Amino acid sequence: MSRGSGRRGVDEDAHYRERAQRKKELVDRRIARATIDRGVVVVNTGNGKGKSSSGFGMLARSLGHGFRCGVVQFIKGSFSTGEEAFFRRFPDECDYRVMGEGFTWETQDRTRDIAAAEAAWGVAARMLADPDYDFVLLDELNIALTKDYIALDQVLAALAARPEFQHVVVTGRGAPEGLIEAADTVTEMRVVKHAFKAGIKAQHGIEL
């Protein structure tokens, strides 16, 4: 190795350390400014895959911290999923409720869909009002909202009145603007590629 290439290596290492130090100082300042301690509302929306998966990941994390958790699934219900099979292993820590009757194109009955959504919301509202629940996942609630099965105003009121340190995650495409405004963290999943469009059926461990 030439003397010049060795010098470049030293300079690159020094430059890397300088950038890392500046980044650390920036992050440390942001952490120092984040002094509010309370529960947050997280919304996962968009047409891409991963909305519910992210929610269930946060559910697993919350259980790892010893939280008391609640799950209400608003749409899914006509078929078993891996997450349901797994989280039902923790009945004392996780109150898991499958309240939907399947996707709306399968049920083809708006009256029945509304009744199922209203029943699910009744359970969800009780969880949101109960300080014993540290974390509540409302899976596919956005769909029930966009289809007007449930009034947005009552959801926003329940979120605003929930216990101070309770975390809530809401999933589903088409999150209404009012919910997005009320949330603390919002992520929109975007489709880049999906195996289903290539004719690959839903897979256990990936979609189911």
- Return the pLDDT at 15: 84
- Return the pLDDT at 70: 98
Q: What is the mean pLDDT of residues 87-101?
A: 92
Instruction: Return the CATH superfamily for domain 39-198.
Output: P-loop containing nucleotide triphosphate hydrolases (3.40.50.300)
| Average pLDDT of the residues of the chain | 90
High-pLDDT (> 90) share of the chain, %: 65
**Listed range (19-28, 80-89, 106-115, 138-147) with the worst mean pLDDT:** 106-115
* Every domain of the chain and the residues it spans: 1-35, 39-198
Cβ atoms of 46 and 186 within 8 Å: the answer is no
- pLDDT of 7 above 70: no
Instruction: Give the number of other Cβ atoms within 10 Å of residue 28's Cβ.
Output: 10
Quote the pTM value.
0.86
- Return the pLDDT at 115: 92
Q: What is the mean pLDDT of residues 73-94?
A: 87
Distance, CA of 45 to CA of 162 (rounded, Å): 22
- Return the pLDDT at 91: 95
Q: Which residue has the higher pLDDT, 25 or 145?
A: 145
Distance, CA of 58 to CA of 169 (rounded, Å): 8
- Return the pLDDT at 28: 85
Q: What is the mean pLDDT of residues 128-155?
A: 97
Across the beta sheet with 135-139, what order do the strands follow? 94-98, 69-73, 135-139, 167-171, 41-46, 185-189
Half-sphere exposure of 82 (CA within 13 A, CB side): 11
Quick: pLDDT tens for 59-71. Answer: 999 999 999 999 9
- Return the pLDDT at 90: 96
Distance, CA of 115 to CA of 98 (rounded, Å): 14
